[in-house]
């Protein structure tokens, strides 16, 4: 398993070792000791699974008081996955990184607590699974505008398919008083 750091400290692309043979493939997606050795000492408490058609954009979502770390992977199709640093006082505040996650490349993206997450489906259909370090708390969730110019993501869909919640999302700066506080990078 390879752990590849990104430009944002704490956000890590995970490349599992894939064992292939005539039957198909096998890979390990999570191993506590290996993640801890790579500096990702997390305990996951909830798994989520979504299926979406091409052009669907989900996000940016985050929880504030009960910030979630997420380990995201595409088990079918391909997505453009994005993490945004939303920690008040962070030297990286508002910056983002993106990774292509697909059923073919088996890559995963670890997004630590204090970051918002979103993805856009680039294949005809995609299924995404992600593990969370906190349970979902709708009263603590914020939805940040996917097209916030201060974040500046170059999404692969010019006119994405959005939920009502994502369509009504607000710019990151409007949540500043609720955002998690930066406590240094790991």
Q: Residues with catalytic annotation?
A: 61, 130
- Tokens representing 7 are 């430009």
Alpha-carbon distance of 142 to 166, in angstroms, equals 10
Region for residue 164 given its phi and psi (left: phi exceeds 0; alpha: psi -120 to 50; beta: otherwise): alpha
10 Å CB burial of residue 29 (0-12, 13-18, 19+) is middle
């Amino acid at each position: 398993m390879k752990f590849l750091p990104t430009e944002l400290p704490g956000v890590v692309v995970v490349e599992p070792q894939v064992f292939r043979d005539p039957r198909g493939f096998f890979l390990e997606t999570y191993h506590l000791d290996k993640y801890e050795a790579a500096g990702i000492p997390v305990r996951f408490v909830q798994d989520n699974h979504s299926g979406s058609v091409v052009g669907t954009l989900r996000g940016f979502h985050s929880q504030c008081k009960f910030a979630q770390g997420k380990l995201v992977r595409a088990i079918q199709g391909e997505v453009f996955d994005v993490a945004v640093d939303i920690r008040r006082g962070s030297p990286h505040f508002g910056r983002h990184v993106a990774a292509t996650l697909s059923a073919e490349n088996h890559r995963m993206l670890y997004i630590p607590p204090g970051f918002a997450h979103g993805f856009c489906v680039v294949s005809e259909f995609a299924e995404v699974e992600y593990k969370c370090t906190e349970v979902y708390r709708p009263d603590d969730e914020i939805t940040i505008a996917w097209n916030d110019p201060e974040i500046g993501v170059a999404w692969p869909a010019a006119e994405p398919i959005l939920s009502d919640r994502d369509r009504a999302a607000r710019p990151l700066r409007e949540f500043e008083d609720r955002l998690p506080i930066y406590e240094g990078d790991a």
